[in-house]
Amino acid sequence: MIRKLRRKLILLSMSALLLVLSVIIIGANAVNFYSVVRDADGLLTILSENKGAFPRNQGEGRGNRLPPDMSLEVPYETRYFTVLFSSDGSLIQVNTSRIVTVDQTEAVSIAQSVLENEKGFVGDFRYFVKAGEGTVRLIFLDCGRKLDSCRRFLLASMGISLAGFLVVFLLIALFSKRIIRPVSESYEKQKRFITDAGHELKTPLTIISADADVLAMDLGENEWLEDIRKQVERLTVLTKGLVTLSRMEEAGETMPMIVFPFSDVVSEAAASFQAPAQTQRKNLVLSIQPMLSLKGNEKGIEQLVGILLDNALKYSPEGSTIYLSAFKQGKTVVLSVTNETLAPIAKEELPLLFERFYRMDPSRSSQTSGYGIGLSLAKAIVTAHSGKLQAQSKEKSSLTVMASFPA
């Protein structure tokens, strides 16, 4: 449990960090790319308004002057080329005087490939297509250096984020033991208390039971002595269950595991419940796929079947049918027990069934002789087999407890 808690802490922490870093990287690079596109579109707008050239800052008209916030060096630093077509697609003019990396033939080929579009990117060129009176002018702006800068910024941000992610992972992995130490100590104390209390209770319970037998020999049987015996038996069963659960959780994955005939073990364990089911006027239907095998603890699986069937018998009405099935689904071996319930089970109540001392009977009546630790022990057994235990309620008054094991 402590190991799983530590793994969950590391996983949740690193998932949150990964999400934050992803948002930062995507946001920063999106803003950077948007800035490149905005600046390029601004220059293309000026060029398209001046027939493919920068204004010379002469005259008083707006079209003859650069924007006041633009440097006078921009026209000399900008690399671009223009292609002019007639409305019927005939080539009129090609101007590659402001760029040396593209010749006229290549310029015409690039222009013809994007003639149907309005604007966008082709390679490292941002382009505008502007239709005039009987002509179509395409202006291509070289954004190669700025796009290269964007790519370098992307790689740098990802590299720095990855390095930071690894550093934080190492720090969290290093200090996670210290973080969960209070929880670990509390959990160990709880298990130790249960085990010690169970051993301490065995002696007085044995003495009380023996004294009751002696009194019965001297005074004869009576209802008070019978009540004493019943309550001692209840306490003995409860104590034994708590100690077993504590030991199961302590053992965890250290239980001896061997390959055994799963189908045979389930059949033998379930067969012993046919008589109690008939006594309680209930039907027990078995559907077990033959020749199933599983690597696990044979006694643990026997105990699991007993817990699930005992729980189904206790909390099902007379005349109902209990279904036990075992089958292989893909790479998973499934053990399922379905029964009708005495009362509807809410969906939010299902996860609580595997908690210690939780009982579906809200009155906690002793008529069902349950203690609320059976399904907790079942969960511990399934967990020790690296499996999953879940409860489902497809109908209003039915319960299916399903254990899945890796084959």
Beta strands in 35-86 (DSSP E): 80-86
Domain span at residue 49 reads 1-178
Q: Which helix (H) or strand (E) holds 20?
A: helix 2-49
Instruction: Let me know whether 277 and 201 are in one domain.
Output: no
Which residue, 178, 211, 234, sits at the end of a domain? 178
Res 221: pLDDT: 81
Whose structure tokens read 């609580």?
A: 352
Could you tell me which of 380, 141, 115, 149 has the C-alpha nearest to residue 252? 380
Instruction: Let me know whether 83 and 36 are in one domain.
Output: yes
Instruction: Let me know whether 139 and 245 are in one domain.
Output: no
Which residue, 178, 208, 231, sits at the end of a domain? 178
Res 207: pLDDT: 85
46: CATH? 3.40.1840.10
Environment class of residue 183 by beta-carbon count within 10 Å: exposed (0-12), middle (13-18) or buried (19+)?
Answer: middle
Which residue, 196, 217, 251, sits at the end of a domain? 251
Res 5: pLDDT: 80
213: CATH? 1.10.287.130
Instruction: Let me know whether 188 and 326 are in one domain.
Output: no
Res 360: pLDDT: 57
- Taking residues 337-358, report their average pLDDT: 79
- Taking residues 390-407, report their average pLDDT: 85
Res 377: pLDDT: 83
How is residue 80 written in tokens? 């671009």
Instruction: Let me know whether 231 and 101 are in one domain.
Output: no
How is residue 261 written in tokens? 């005939």
- Taking residues 387-404, report their average pLDDT: 86
- Taking residues 308-319, report their average pLDDT: 89
pLDDT tens digits, one per residue of 128-182: 999 888 899 999 999 999 999 999 999 999 999 999 999 999 999 888 888 777 7
Instruction: Let me know whether 216 and 318 are in one domain.
Output: no
Residues 6+ positions from 191 with CB-CB distance below 8 Å? 246, 249, 250
Q: What value does the CA radius of gyration of the chain take, rounded to a whole number of Å? A: 39
- Taking residues 247-270, report their average pLDDT: 79
| Contact in structure between 332 and 295 (CB atoms under 8 Å) | no
Res 103: pLDDT: 93
Beta strands in 61-124 (DSSP E): 80-86, 91-95, 119-122
- Taking residues 246-274, report their average pLDDT: 80
Instruction: Let me know whether 263 and 390 are in one domain.
Output: yes
376: CATH? 3.30.565.10
Instruction: Let me know whether 398 and 305 are in one domain.
Output: yes
What is residue 121's three-state secondary structure?
strand
B/e letters for 231-244, b = 16+ CB within 10 Å, e = fewer, are ebeebbebbebbbb
Q: How many Cα neighbours within 13 Å face the side chain of 237?
A: 12
pLDDT tens digits, one per residue of 4-15: 788 888 899 999
Beta strands in 271-357 (DSSP E): 283-288, 293-296, 321-329, 332-340
Res 226: pLDDT: 83
Cα(48)–Cα(135) distance, rounded to whole angstroms?
Answer: 13
Res 59: pLDDT: 47
Task: Tell me the β-bridge partners of 121.
Answer: 126
pLDDT tens digits, one per residue of 89-102: 899 999 999 999 99
Instruction: Let me know whether 323 and 239 are in one domain.
Output: no
Res 27: pLDDT: 95
Instruction: Let me know whether 351 and 213 are in one domain.
Output: no
pLDDT tens digits, one per residue of 12-47: 999 999 999 999 999 999 999 999 999 999 999 999
Instruction: Let me know whether 247 and 260 are in one domain.
Output: no
Question: Structural domain tally of the chain?
Answer: 3
Res 363: pLDDT: 46
Q: How many Cα neighbours within 13 Å face the side chain of 73?
A: 1
Res 169: pLDDT: 93
Asked which of 44-53, 329-338, 372-381 is least confident by mean pLDDT, the reply is 372-381
- Residue 276, φ and ψ in degrees, nearest 5: -60, -35
Instruction: Let me know whether 12 and 143 are in one domain.
Output: yes
- Taking residues 201-215, report their average pLDDT: 82
